[in-house]
């Protein structure tokens, strides 16, 4: 193969250019090695632990030994509170206009808002993405009544005692009687979705039947609410 004519001569004739070329090649090589040696350390992020599913709530009978109805009632509501304060329920009871999602209750993506009636904004209603049932191929959950709880029923950031009084307050609970509340908790389909959430979402603790029995027993024992320790401390 013929040698490139005059190549050596070019380098000899332009020592400055040759020097520059050597410098550039050297710099690139040095930066590559340097950036490799000083590469950022990988962040040591702990793996996300899956929220463990809780198979059963304590049955009503477990509270029979308590001395009086009032303390039994509070204990029953505390047990039911494991469901009420679970992400499956809290995510759609936000304080603001935007729901949260997932076991870690991160802000909902896309930025859904409650709109005028809890069904989303015109043009981006809940039903734009959420169908009548969970859709496993895309992981999008669904229910025929998928919607946000009204603002008066906001639970996030509240103590269980505050939520309890809110649930009983007919000016904030959709004008429901205690019997209506029992029916809602024990039989409502959208409430029931919490135990059949699909995807990788952790179901609410126990079963809706167990939860309904606790709420029924809570009402029968006087519907007493847990003391609001944090509110007392704030005062």
Partner 1 sequence: MRYTLNINGASHGVDAEADMPLLWVLRDLLGLTGTKYGCGVAQCGACTVHVDGEPRRSCSLPISAVDGPVTTIEGASGPVAEALQAAWVARDVPQCGFCQSGQLMSAIALINAVPRPDDDDINAAMNGNICRCGTYMRIRAAIKDAAAAAGG
Q: Is the dihedral of CA 9, 12, 15, 20 positive or negative?
A: positive
Q: Does 135 bind partner 1 (CB under 8 A)?
A: yes
Distances (CA, A) of 40 to 32, 36, 37, 44, 47: 14, 9, 9, 12, 20
Residue from 127, 165, 172, 176 binding partner 1 (CB under 8 A):
127
Residue from 34, 35, 128, 152 binding partner 1 (CB under 8 A):
128
Q: Does 52 bind partner 1 (CB under 8 A)?
A: no
Q: Does 110 bind partner 1 (CB under 8 A)?
A: yes
| Cis status of the peptide bond prior to 49, with omega within 30 of 0 | no
Residue from 68, 69, 117, 136 binding partner 1 (CB under 8 A):
136
Instruction: Give the shortest CB-133-to-partner 1 separation in angstroms.
Output: 8
For partner 1, the closer CB: 113 or 156: 113
Instruction: Give the shortest CB-191-to-partner 1 separation in angstroms.
Output: 22
The residue count for binding partner 1 (CB under 8 A) is 23
Other CB atoms within a 10 A radius of the CB of residue 135 amount to 15
> Which DSSP letter does residue 5 get?
T
Residue from 54, 105, 124, 153 binding partner 1 (CB under 8 A):
124
Residue of 223, 212, 204, 202 whose CA lies nearest to 73: 223
Q: CA 62, CA 77: separation in Å to the nearest integer?
A: 13
Q: Does 103 bind partner 1 (CB under 8 A)?
A: no
Contacting range for partner 1; rule: CB under 8 A; set: 29-37, 130-138, 186-194, 212-220 = 130-138
Residue from 4, 41, 49, 109 binding partner 1 (CB under 8 A):
109
What sections of 151-192 are H helices per DSSP? 160-168, 178-187, 189-192
- State the Cα angle at 65 between 203 and 209, rounded to 5°: 25
Instruction: Give the shortest CB-202-to-partner 1 separation in angstroms.
Output: 19
Residue from 15, 47, 52, 137 binding partner 1 (CB under 8 A):
137
User: For residue 120, what are the β-bridge partners?
Assistant: 125
Q: Are strands 100-101 and 106-107 parallel, antiparallel or unpaired?
A: antiparallel
Q: Does 138 bind partner 1 (CB under 8 A)?
A: yes
Binding residues for partner 1, rule: CB under 8 A, are: 109-113, 115, 121-125, 127-129, 131-133, 135-140
């Amino acid at each position: 193969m013929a040698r490139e004519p005059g190549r050596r001569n070019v380098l000899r004739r332009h020592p400055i250019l040759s020097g520059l070329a050597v410098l550039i090649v050297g710099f690139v090589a040095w930066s590559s090695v340097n950036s490799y040696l000083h590469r950022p350390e990988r962040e040591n992020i702990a793996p996300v632990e899956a929220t463990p599913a809780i198979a059963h709530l304590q049955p009503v009978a477990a509270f029979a030994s308590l001395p009086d109805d009032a303390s039994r009632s509070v204990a029953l509501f505390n047990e039911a509170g494991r469901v009420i304060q679970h992400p499956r329920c809290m995510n759609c009871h936000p304080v603001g206009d935007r729901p949260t999602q997932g076991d870690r209750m991160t802000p909902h993506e896309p930025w859904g808002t409650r709109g005028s009636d809890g069904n989303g904004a015109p043009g981006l209603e809940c039903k734009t993405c959420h169908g009548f049932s969970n859709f496993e191929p895309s992981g999008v959950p669904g229910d025929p009544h998928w919607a946000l709880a009204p603002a008066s029923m906001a639970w996030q950031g509240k103590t269980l005692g505050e939520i309890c009084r809110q649930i009983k307050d007919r000016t904030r609970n959709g004008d429901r009687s205690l019997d209506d509340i029992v029916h809602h908790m024990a039989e409502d389909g959208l409430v029931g979705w919490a135990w059949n959430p699909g995807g990788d979402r952790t179901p609410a603790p126990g079963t809706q039947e167990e939860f309904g029995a606790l709420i029924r027993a809570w009402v029968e024992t006087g519907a007493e609410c847990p003391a609001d320790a944090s509110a007392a401390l704030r005062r």
